[in-house]
Amino acid sequence: MGVISYLAHRAHTVPSSIHVAVEGGRWWLSFAANDTDVILPGNTVDVATEQIAEDLRHMSPDHLAERTLGGDRGVAKPLTTSDRQVFDLLSVQKTRIKPSRHHSQRWQRRAARRQKSSKNQKKAYRKVARYQQYERNVRQEYAHQTSHALVANAAYDLYVFEDLRIKNMTQRPKAQRDAQGRFLPNGRKAKAGLNRAILASGWGQVVAFTRYKALRAKKLVILVPPAYSSQECAVCTFTSPDNRPSQAEFVCQRCGHTDNADHNAACVIAQRGIRKLLSGEPLTKAHKRTRIFRTLGPERSEVTPGEISVRRLGPTAPAQRSMSQELPGAIPETPALTREG
């Protein structure tokens, strides 16, 4: 392909992977390398995370509460923090995204009417990709700017977000049928609009970008369960659906605490993150190793990796037995029982 020159904004190691892609008629090259500011020689991301967490546990609870920032993610407001900051797209960006979606749909209809695999159809699809790429670039820029603003704030060392299952939240509803087998309304159009709004909010990118930027700055990002965070009072921890008389208002039915609903939820999330950190439980999960057992035939043509030599018919007839072989009639992980005579 040739030689590509680029400007290295900071020193990096040899790339671990290089990715070349063509999108909308434009070529893109990206590579990934280990971050020397986070991963030291003989260290890993999990070890670095636990080291930062251990340093934060030595703070007093009051000082840790001052250094903690909670974030509540929503559709109308993509991110609301416990210090009353609201992060969202600019009005000019929202205005430009609407016509780009309209033009993308129009060129999709044009491409469908053109001859299949023709040059004109390929041109139309490149137009579609470029209009869709604009919105994707805007969302990515928003995620980078938001994560940088959070990490660059020297007042905080701990960032807490909800552990949202975005993939499960954006699944399409299942089809419903009556007794005669006819399809019933299942609200798929409304759910499709909600899924589009959730994916356009950049929930996952903001947390992912904040996580690696925080590690580079010796800070920490924690995910906590999101259950009932919008119904719990940040003052007395009383939880009830009646605490939300409206979408934007929060009024505690026990202590009378009144606040903005998103800000109250962000404070609740921050408190949950502090309790999780001080509990001492590990913040990183051990990588689960699985073992695949294969049923092998009576004849083996070659030796595969992970095998040991077993002598069954004397020293001149070595046989190969796989460590991942499932023996006929035996259950792996279950010791064989012997009967004493």
| Domain spans, the chain | 17-174+184-278
Q: What does residue 275 show for φ and ψ, rounded to 5 degrees?
A: -65, -40
Strands 79-81 and 86-87: antiparallel
- Asked whether the beta carbons of 221 and 214 are under 8 A apart, the reply is yes
Residue 21, beta-bridge partner list: 28
pLDDT value for 341: 44
Of 18-32, 66-80, 149-163, 216-230, the least confident: 18-32
Predicted confidence (pLDDT) at residue 332 exceeds the cutoff of 70? no
pLDDT value for 13: 84
Question: Please, what is the Cα angle at 78 between 75 and 83, to 5 degrees?
Answer: 130
pLDDT value for 42: 56
pLDDT value for 225: 94
**At 34, is the pLDDT very low, low, confident or very high (cuts 50, 70, 90)?**
confident
- Asked whether the beta carbons of 316 and 330 are under 8 A apart, the reply is no
Cα dist from 204 to 29, 48, 147, 306, whole Å: 23, 22, 11, 39
- pTM of the entire structure? 0.78
Question: What average pLDDT score do residues 199-220 get?
Answer: 93
Spatial CB neighbours of 118, under 8 Å, sequence gap ≥ 6: none
Of 13-27, 260-274, 308-322, the least confident: 308-322
C-alpha–C-alpha distance, residues 80 and 86, integer Å: 5
C-alpha–C-alpha distance, residues 157 and 303, integer Å: 53
- Asked whether the beta carbons of 268 and 67 are under 8 A apart, the reply is no
Question: What average pLDDT score do residues 173-199 get?
Answer: 91
pLDDT value for 318: 47
pLDDT value for 43: 63
Spatial CB neighbours of 188, under 8 Å, sequence gap ≥ 6: 172, 173
Q: Two tokens at 99?
A: 């016509």
Residues with a catalytic annotation lie at 72, 162, 262
Q: Two tokens at 239?
A: 């939880």
Question: Virtual CA dihedral for 175, 179, 185, 186, nearest 10 degrees?
Answer: -40
Predicted confidence (pLDDT) at residue 17 exceeds the cutoff of 60? yes
- Asked whether the beta carbons of 151 and 210 are under 8 A apart, the reply is yes
Mean per-residue pLDDT of the chain:
85
Spatial CB neighbours of 53, under 8 Å, sequence gap ≥ 6: 220, 277, 283
Predicted confidence (pLDDT) at residue 3 exceeds the cutoff of 50? yes
**At 283, is the pLDDT very low, low, confident or very high (cuts 50, 70, 90)?**
confident
Spatial CB neighbours of 242, under 8 Å, sequence gap ≥ 6: 253
Predicted confidence (pLDDT) at residue 115 exceeds the cutoff of 70? yes
Q: Two tokens at 209?
A: 């970008």
Predicted confidence (pLDDT) at residue 294 exceeds the cutoff of 80? no
